[in-house]
Structure 1
Amino acid sequence: MNDAVPETEPGQAPPQNDGGPAAPAPLNVPRTPTGHPGIDAQVRRLADADHLATDGHVEVYENVHRGLRDALTALDTRPGPPSNHGHRS
């Protein structure tokens, strides 16, 4: 055990150091699987921000946002039965 860094309970904020910014720490936010592998992979990717300083979060969030947007776009372009909407007999 390292005496320089006290342990914290899950969900508890780490102690502040000598006036500088706190070290990155997981937020322990539960992530419930959606059942859609592409979406679940993006949600798991959010955990990458737990180990970065705050200024590194934007890159992770933008990457996840792109991935989620791509997954939604793929749903719109998925082949399916032809639609009869807009065709009148």
Structure 2
Amino acid sequence: MNDAITEAEAGTDPVTGGARAEAAETAAAAPLGVPREPTGLPSVDALVERLAEADHLPADGHLAVYEDVHQGLRAELTSLDARPAPAPRPHDPRS
């Protein structure tokens, strides 16, 4: 059995000699800069804006933000299916 560790296993880039982990961490820390356009619905816009919070979190923190926003958007869509309350009937002064 060979106990030697290859450069790939050690996480070193054989071309540049730098650690791949450092390059990946630097690249992952940069915000994506994806524009978020307003929808015109304040509740939906607030949820979409929450996605910007992921720009300041490490990758393992993104999931919580995405799940929260997804849950909020599903709730907004579900509310569209709710039946409106019946319209009030006009008061009949004769009764």
Q: Same fold (TM over 0.5)?
A: yes
- For 1:27, give the aligned amino acid: L
TM-score, normalised via structure 1 length: 0.64
Map of 1:27-38 to 2, 5 A cutoff?
27-38=32-43
* CA–CA separation in structure 2 for the residues paired with 1:25 and 1:51: 8
Q: What percent of counterpart residues are identical?
A: 60
Q: Write the deviation string for residues 20-68 of structure 1: whole angstroms up to 9, x where unpaired.
A: 2226222111111000111111110000000011111100000000000
Larger Rg: 2
Aligned residues: 65
Structure 1 unaligned regions, length at least 5: 1-17, 83-89
- Give the helix-richer structure, 1 or 2: 2
Structure 1 ranges of 4+ moved more than 4 A: none
After superposition, the CA RMSD in angstroms is 1.9
TM-score, normalised via structure 2 length: 0.60
Structure 2 unaligned regions, length at least 5: 1-17, 88-95
